[in-house]
A and B are shown apart, each in its own frame.
Chain A
Amino acid sequence: MKRLEALRLGVQIGGQEILRELDLRLEAGQMLGVIGPNGAGKSTLLRALAGIQPARGEILLDGHELAALSPRQRARRIAWLAQNGPVHWPLSVARIVALGRLAWHEAEAATRQATRETLRETGLEGLADRNYDQLSGGEKARVLLARALNGKPELLLADEPTAALDLAHQLEVMTLLRNHCQAGRAAIVVLHDLRLAAHYCDRLLLLKQGVALTEGSPRQVISAHWLELAYRIRLREGIDPLDAFRLEWTVMT
C-alpha cells in the first residue's frame, strides 16, 4: 500500500449519526493515532475502514475502491485488531497467531513458517505452546497483536491495543506497532493515552461526536485549544501541551 484515502466517510447506526463527512489520508510508513473522548466514533471509524461496518463515502487503497475487493482480498491487505477481542476456545498461542494467515489459503507448512517468524519478531517464541487461558493480560494483548501482524498486512487497524495494560506492556505494544510501520507498512491506532499518541504517532486525528475536529502532527493536534474543545480540559498556564504529555520511558532490554 502506498496510500489510503477515506472521503466523506459516514456511518449511521440505529438512526444515529456516529461518523459524519470524515476525510482521512495515510501514507505507507506512517502511524496515525485516532484520539478523542469516549463516544467520538473512533472504534466505528476503524470498523468502517476494516469493512466490518457498512459506511457511506469512499475508501480508496492506492486509488482503488476498497469495496471492490473480495473479503479475502481485503483481509490480506488490512488487519483489524479488536478492543478486548474474545478467544472462545483455549487454543495455543501458536494456533491463535496462525489464524492471522487464514485469508492466504496457503499450505499448513507455509503458515507454520510465517507464524514462527512472527512469534520471533514479537518476542512470543517462548509462549508458542502455552494455552491462551494461561497467559497474563499483557501477554494476551501481545498474542492478539501478533495474530494481526502475522498476515503482514499493509494496513493495521488497532482499536485501543494498550487498554488495561501496565506501562511496560503499553510500550512493548507500541514499539511493535512502530516496527510494523518502519517496515514500510501503515497503522491506524485508536488511543486514549495522549502520551503514547504524542510519542509514537506520526500524525493524529482528533474526533468528537463523529466529526474530525483536526488532523496533523502531534504538535499541531495536542494543543491547549484543541484539547479544551475536545475533552473540556484546561492546561495550567505557561506549560507546553506537548511537554505535559511527554513520554520519557523506554522498555529495559
Chain B
Amino acid sequence: MKHATLILGLVTAALGLFSLFIGSNPIPVFQALLDRLHDIPSAIAIVLTEVRLPRTLIALLAGAVLGLCGAALQGFLHNPLASPGLIGTSGGAAFGAVIALYFGFGSGLGVPLAGIAGALVATWTVYRIAGRDGDTLTLILAGVAINALLTASISLLLSLAPSPYAVQEIVVWLLGSVANHGSDDLWLMLPGALTGGLLLMRTRRALDALTLGEETAASLGVDLMRTRAQLFAGIALAMGSVVAVTGAIGFVGLVTPHLLRPLAAHRPGRLLGLSALGGAALLLAADIGVRLLQRATGASIQVGVITALLGAPFFLWLILRQRSPA
C-alpha cells in the first residue's frame, strides 16, 4: 500500500511536470520559470504562470476531487457502480452554470459561483428527500430523480436559448474542460475542494466499518447520520467547486476507484487517498492526450469527451464482469 501510494504520487508529479511542457507552441519551461522567479515579465513566463500552470493545477485538483468523491460514494453506498454525480452535485453545478450562461452572467466568476450554488442546492435537496437516516435505495432514487430533473431543465434552457452562440457556449462548457482557465478559477476552486476533501477524509473509519453493513457499523460506534452529513457536505463542496469551473468531466470518479481498489486491499477508507492520487494522474494524462492531439491535428477536443470515450467502454466491461463473476 505504501509503495503503491509512493509510485502513484511520483507518477502524478511526473505527469504534472510533463504537462507544463505541452502546449500549442513549445516554450523553454525552465527559462520561463527562472524569468518568473526573477520577476522578469517575459511572454514565456506569463504563458507558464497564467496558462500552463493553472491548467495543470486545475487538472490535478479536479482529478483528485473526482477520484476522492467517487471512492467515498462507492464506499458509502457499497456499490462499485456509484459515480460521484449520483447525489445530484454535478447536475446541480451544471444547471447553475448554464443558468449563468443563459442569462448573460458568463463572464468573470459568474459561471463558477452559480455552479457552486447549484451544486449545494441540488445536493442539499437530495439529502433532504432521502432523509438524514434514509436507506441507500431511497438515496439513490432521490439522486436519480433530481439528476433527471436537472438534465431536463438544462435541455429546456438549450431549447429556449436566445442565440446559437449561447447554445454553443453552453454545450462546450457542458463537455467539461480544464483549458482556458486562469489562476482566478484555481483560487475559486481551492477552498471548497480542500474543505470538502478534508471532510471526506474524516469518513475513512466509518467507510471501513460500513463494509459490514449499516447496522453493524452503528454497533461499532459509527455515527451514521454524522457520516452521511459529512459525506454529502464534502462531495457538495469539493465536486461543486470543481464542476463549477471545469464542467462535468465524466467517468474519472467512477473508473479510478475501480482501478485502484485492489491496491488498497479493498478497504474503502484506505482507497480514498489512493483514488485522489489516481484521479489526478488520470485527468492529467487525459489532458496531456488532448493537448498532444490538438498539437498534432489542430482539433480542439474537450477533456471530458476523452474521459467519457475511454470511461464508457470500461464501464460496460465492468457491468459485464459483474454479470458473470466467473
Contact = CB atoms under 8 A, between A and B. Distances in A.
Interface of A: 47, 50-52, 70-76, 78-80, 82, 85-92, 95-96, 99-100, 102-103, 147
A118 to B, nearest CB: 15
Given A88-B210, A91-B211, A99-B211, A71 B267 contact: no
Interface in B207-222: 208-213, 215-216, 218-222
Contact of A102 (B205, B213, B223, B266): B205
A91 B266 contact: yes
Nearest to B261: A89
A90 B211 CA distance: 9
A99 B78 contact: no
B177 to A, nearest CB: 34
Interface in B84-124: none
Interface of B: 78, 205, 208-213, 215-216, 218-223, 261, 265-268
Given A71-B218, A87-B211, A92-B265, 5 more contacts: A52-B218, A82-B212, A82-B216, A89-B261, A91-B211
B208, B219, B265: most-surrounded residue (chain A CB, <10 A) = B219
A3 B226 CA distance: 31
13 contacts: A52-B215, A73-B221, A75-B221, A80-B216, A85-B213, A88-B213, A89-B78, A89-B261, A89-B266, A96-B212, A99-B211, A99-B212, A100-B220
A103 to B, nearest CB: 4
The residue among A47, A70, A74, A88 with the most chain B CB atoms within 10 A of its own CB is: A88
Contacts of A147: 212
Nearest to A84: B213
Nearest to A50: B219
Contacts of A73: 221
Contacts of A92: 265
Nearest to B215: A52
User: Of residues B210, B211, B265, which shows the largest number of chain A Cβ atoms within 10 Å of its Cβ?
Assistant: B211
Nearest to B74: A89
Contact of A82 (B205, B215, B261): B215
Nearest to B268: A89
A87 B211 CA distance: 6
B219 A91 contact: no
Contact of B213 (A47, A82, A91, A103): A82
Interface SS majority for chain B: helix
A91 to B, nearest CB: 5
B216 A85 contact: yes
A71 B216 CA distance: 12
B325 to A, nearest CB: 9
Contacts of A90: 266
A78 B219 CA distance: 8
Contact of A79 (B78, B219, B222, B268): B219
A79 B267 CA distance: 22
Counting from the closest, the 8 A-B pairs by CB-CB distance are A75-B221, A88-B78, A72-B221, A103-B221, A80-B219, A89-B266, A86-B213, A71-B221
Given A82-B213, A89-B268, A91-B266, A99 B220 contact: yes
A130 to B, nearest CB: 13
Nearest to A79: B219
A92 B266 CA distance: 9
Given A87-B211, A99-B209, A74 B216 contact: no
A79 B212 CA distance: 13
Given A85-B213, A102-B205, A102-B209, A91 B267 contact: yes
Given A95-B265, A95-B267, A89 B211 contact: yes
Nearest to A78: B219
A92 B213 CA distance: 16
Contacts of A79: 219
B317 to A, nearest CB: 19
A75 B211 contact: no
Contacts of B261: 89
A47 B215 contact: yes
A91 B264 CA distance: 10
Contacts of B222: 71, 102
Contacts of B210: 88
A79 to B, nearest CB: 7
B259 to A, nearest CB: 15
A61 to B, nearest CB: 15
A181 B267 CA distance: 32
Given A91-B267, A92-B265, A95-B267, A102 B208 contact: yes
A87 to B, nearest CB: 6
Contacts of A71: 218, 221-223
B213 A75 contact: no
Contacts of A91: 211, 265-267
Contacts of B205: 102
